[in-house]
Chain A
Amino acid sequence: MCGIVGFMYKNGASAVPLGTQLSAMAGTLGSRGLDSTGLAMYGKTSKGHLVLRAQLEAASGEEGEGKLSRLRERVGKLVTVKKATWTKHLARLEFTGVEDPGNLDTLRQITDAAESADDIKVFSIGSAMEIIKDTGPAPELDVYEVKSFVGTHGLAHTRLATESIVDTCSSHPFWARPFADIAVVHNGQLTNHNILRKHFERRGYHFLTTNDSEVIAVYIADKLLNGRNLEEALNDSINDLDGTFTYLIATEKSIGFAKDRFATKPLVIAENDSFVALASEEVALAPVITKGTEVWEPTARSVRTWSR
């Protein structure tokens, strides 16, 4: 059992920051899992702009600053680092003037360079997307100033670990490495993730964890790379993924969900002219919807996408 949340402002960022909405929704789903909490948030983009989020563990401020400085130096050989910061377990690097920010080889090189020393683990790279995740319940993320994040759409997850260990890397959302701006949150358990992971590894993809949900992110990103649109990719996944799942996917412009053929995992949706909100339980919609808003539940074997 895990809690999943999705949210999109249809007409651009609103007065209430995206981070505030997602934090409030995730905060109500602690009963579905307190092992870890994470957010994938999509903010402002500009030409040649990329943001990297990574795990950076340090016993002291001095050690942390040292690791951050070395990280900046390694990645700086490939791209121009505009800004580098570090808080608690997480580092954030902002790049500017990247010639082709969607180029998979560039993104792979940046990831490899970042992870080549100091036990750095890259959680996300995106022009709009930033993944912030840590162990513990939703309030533990406040230290990363998530509530003030202004953006258009995003995902959140509260985890009750079943597939891999409880640590920051194995927390959701998962990044579809090395694809910019693609993330997934998943409630359920896949039974064919090892076969799928091997299939993707043979094709040159790398995974951060052995977690089943990370495979979904790469699966969808690979489908998009090969010309399927998001809705088609989600539909394909219902036949190709074995096990139980309701998952949410986000890209630079869209969010969507897929629900398995047995409808094993819950999802409720509320939508109006200005936003769409998705969550495992109705209680998580309460912070963002007004009383009396219609809430509906998708059926087994269904998918849907929203774009802005």
Chain B
Amino acid sequence: MVQIDCKDKHITEINKAIKAGLTSDGEVVVVNPGSRHNLGVGINQPGKLTFEGNVGYFCGGMLKQADIVVHGNCGWSVGSDMMSGSIVVHGNASAAAGAAIRGGLLVVHGNAGPRTGISMKGGTIVIGGNVDYMSGFIMQKGVFIICGNTGEALGDSMYQGRIFVRGKIAEQGNDAVEKAMDEADKTLLTELLTKYQVAGIPKPEEFKKIVSGEQLYNFSIKDFELWRVAL
């Protein structure tokens, strides 16, 4: 195990030490992260990385391969643009958690902020608590599970992908529609929630499934007047 103390170190120095310390069978533990930004960004190698404390913005951004655990809260955009690997947060995440991920897995045991999973292009996001305004906006692919409540405009203008919500949905976004769950959905929910012990492992039947209504794929002549005025 390699331990890195962030105190009095420049962020570049910390990230270089993280990359140097990661091995496929070893672990890097980062102490005193002090809510600092850009911790563990751009990692492209296997290994386990643990942050003991709160991290700032963009933690684990552009992640490939490695498995990150945060024992604390995250600032904006944890795991943004992740390609593969995993990030598990034992705390809350702020805005835009898992923004534009293409692969990998993000688990937040607490609440997440507005725009969680915005523009997801693949991968999986699991939130144990609530999400705020416009989460899942323009989702294109992937799986987004919310065990708590959502803010307004959930899944607004989503193209594809699946959103599962257990709690109250403040408002479904444009063209985000409810659809019956199939057996594959239920199996997936059970597997993920059990594996990561999220929110006391609720039953799949407690969730609603939200998908794209696919009505925004093509221009509708009914909207002509709206567009003429707007443009």
Contact = CB atoms under 8 A, between A and B. Distances in A.
Interface of A: 31, 261-263, 266, 268, 281-283, 285-286, 291, 295-297, 299-301
B114 A295 contact: no
Given A283-B35, A300-B152, A262 B73 contact: no
A296 B112 CA distance: 11
Given A263-B95, A295-B92, 11 more contacts: A261-B133, A262-B134, A263-B114, A266-B75, A266-B94, A266-B95, A281-B57, A282-B54, A283-B36, A296-B92, A299-B113
A300 B36 contact: no
Contacts of B115: 263
A286 B34 CA distance: 8
Interface in B34-83: 34-37, 53-54, 56-57, 73, 75-76
Contacts of A262: 114, 133-134
Contacts of A297: 92, 94, 111, 113
Determine chain B's interface SS by DSSP, over half rule. loop
A291 B114 CA distance: 26
B167 interface: no
B155 to A, nearest CB: 16
A195 B57 CA distance: 35
B132 interface: yes
Most buried by A among B53, B111, B133: B133
A163 to B, nearest CB: 22
13 contacts: A262-B134, A263-B114, A263-B115, A268-B94, A281-B75, A282-B35, A295-B73, A297-B92, A297-B94, A297-B111, A300-B114, A300-B133, A300-B151
A275 B16 CA distance: 38
B114 A286 contact: no
Nearest to A283: B35
A150 B154 CA distance: 46
Interface string B123-155: 000000000111000000000000000011000
Interface of B: 34-37, 53-54, 56-57, 73, 75-76, 92, 94-95, 111, 113-115, 132-134, 151-152
A300 B132 contact: yes
Listed from nearest, the 3 A-B pairs whose CB atoms lie closest are A263-B114, A282-B35, A300-B133
A295 B54 contact: yes
A292 B73 CA distance: 10
B22 to A, nearest CB: 25
A255 to B, nearest CB: 22
Contacts of A285: 35
Contacts of A295: 54, 73, 92
A286 B35 contact: yes
B75 A299 contact: no
B73 A263 contact: no
Contacts of B73: 282, 295
Nearest to B110: A296
A281 B134 CA distance: 21
Contact of B133 (A263, A282, A291): A263
B52 to A, nearest CB: 11
Contact of B56 (A261, A283, A291, A301): A283
Nearest to A296: B92
Most buried by B among A268, A300, A301: A300
Contacts of A282: 35, 54, 56, 73, 75
A1 B94 CA distance: 17
A295 B54 CA distance: 10
Nearest to B73: A295
Contact of A281 (B35, B113, B151): B35
Nearest to B149: A299
Given A263-B113, A266-B76, A299 B133 contact: yes
Most buried by B among A266, A268, A282, A283: A282
